[in-house]
């Protein structure tokens, strides 16, 4: 008969083997985004997850929750803070909930004329903003942009005065933006981003600034068949991960995972810009979207209203020091471009 000592040693050995097999299994890392399922963003994130698994020798796998299935961006941030989610692809709106300095990229209408200006300012400011975001417990793995916000509405509008007569969607949980729009004479209605389509259907709102690819994916065009076609504000975002989760990986693993995220960011930027323009064509050709262009006079009206708002934005929507740096870099770029 086997002695009790032999039985004990065998049990310990089996336990060690079992523990080793469990720790070698890929621990799921949960990432969420508002980007609709099966879009290029969703597919690129899943591909990034496969690379992460390879680069960490199976230490982690990635589960992507797309299409807002985990709630609004403010809810995603709360879930990351309590470890129910570990990472997220957030827009500039959500990132501003972490640090309001990011608002200088997406919450300022008509500040940037083109992608080149945006890229220059982002390149200069992103290290500063990454440090501020890190202080809040999140690590920025990559930045992206994906085209321009356009204004979709139930009724045709061309001028700022037209939009002042509308019921304008604004993000719930962003009182500074709501107050700013009121000061500009608009009628903002704060709602969750996941409720935009239903709110358009019920008439709670009738005008929504949003990315064209999201308008197509959510069929917003059916309730808001008019689009004001000008570069209202850039659509920017970032992949962020909780600092707590990030520090579980070795320095070598983090370097490989960040490189994969940066490659994903470049892919999403290229595909996002392309899909944004393609979405407008699809909605116009197949679903009757009516696109209104701005002439020089109308463009000047919108620019005048936006420029007037900049005085309210500094130190309210955007911290003064971040605003001043952004304007300095923008002027620097424009002087060099000229």
Query: Buried (b) or exposed (e) across 148-174, using 16+ Cβ within 10 A?
Result: bbbbbbbeebbebeebeebbbbbbbbb
Q: Among residues 46, 49, 82, which one has the least CA distance to residue 66?
A: 46
Question: pLDDT tens track of the chain, all 338 residues?
Answer: 455 555 544 444 444 444 443 344 457 999 999 988 888 999 999 999 999 999 999 999 999 999 999 999 999 999 999 999 999 999 998 999 999 999 999 999 999 999 999 999 999 999 999 999 999 999 999 999 999 999 999 999 999 999 999 999 998 878 888 888 898 899 999 998 789 999 999 999 999 999 998 899 889 999 999 999 999 999 999 999 999 999 999 999 999 999 999 999 999 999 999 999 999 999 999 999 999 989 999 999 999 999 999 988 999 899 999 999 999 999 999 998 75
Interatomic CA distance for residues 204 and 211, integer angstroms: 20
The residue whose two tokens read 């323009």 is 277
Provide the pairing of β-strand 226-242 with 207-210.
unpaired
Query: Buried (b) or exposed (e) across 192-227, using 16+ Cβ within 10 A?
Result: bbbbbbebbeeeebbbbbbbbbbbbbbebbebbbbb
Question: Taking the CA of residue 322 as centre, how many other CA atoms within 13 Å lie in the half-sphere pointing to its CB?
Answer: 25
Interatomic CA distance for residues 152 and 155, integer angstroms: 9
Q: Which domains, from first to last, does the chain contain? A: 27-337 (3.40.190.170)
């Amino acid at each position: 008969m086997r002695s009790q000592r032999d039985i004990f040693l065998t049990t310990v050995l089996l336990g060690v083997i079992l523990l080793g097999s469990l720790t070698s299994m890929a621990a799921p890392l949960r990432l969420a985004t508002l980007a609709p399922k099966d879009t290029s963003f969703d597919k690129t994130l899943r591909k990034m997850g496969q690379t992460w698994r390879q680069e960490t020798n199976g230490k982690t796998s990635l589960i992507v929750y797309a299409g807002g299935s985990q709630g609004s961006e403010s809810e995603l941030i709360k879930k990351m803070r309590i470890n129910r989610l570990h990472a997220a692809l957030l827009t500039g709106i959500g990132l501003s909930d972490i640090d309001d300095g990011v608002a200088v990229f997406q919450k300022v209408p008509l500040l940037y004329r083109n992608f080149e200006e945006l890229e220059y300012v982002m390149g200069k400011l992103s290290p500063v903003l990454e440090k501020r975001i890190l202080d809040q417990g999140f690590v920025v793995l990559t930045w992206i942009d994906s085209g321009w916000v356009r204004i979709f509405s139930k009724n045709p509008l061309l001028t700022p005065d037209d939009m002042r007569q509308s019921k304008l969607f604004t993000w719930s949980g962003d009182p500074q933006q709501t107050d700013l729009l009121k000061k500009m004479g608009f009628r903002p209605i704060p709602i969750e981003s996941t409720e935009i389509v239903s709110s358009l259907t019920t008439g709670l709102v009738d005008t929504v600034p949003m990315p064209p690819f999201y308008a197509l994916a959510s069929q917003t065009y059916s309730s808001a068949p008019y689009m004001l076609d000008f570069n209202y504000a850039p659509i920017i975002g970032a992949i962020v991960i909780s600092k707590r989760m990030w520090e579980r990986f070795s320095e070598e693993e983090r370097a490989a995972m960040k490189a994969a995220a940066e490659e994903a960011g470049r892919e999403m930027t290229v595909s996002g810009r392309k899909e944004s323009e393609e979405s407008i064509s699809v909605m116009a050709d197949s679903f009757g979207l009516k696109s209104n262009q701005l002439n020089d006079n109308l463009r000047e009206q919108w620019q005048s209203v936006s420029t007037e708002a900049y005085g309210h934005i500094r130190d309210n929507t955007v911290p003064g020091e971040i605003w001043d740096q952004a304007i300095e870099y923008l002027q620097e770029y424009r002087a060099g471009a000229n």
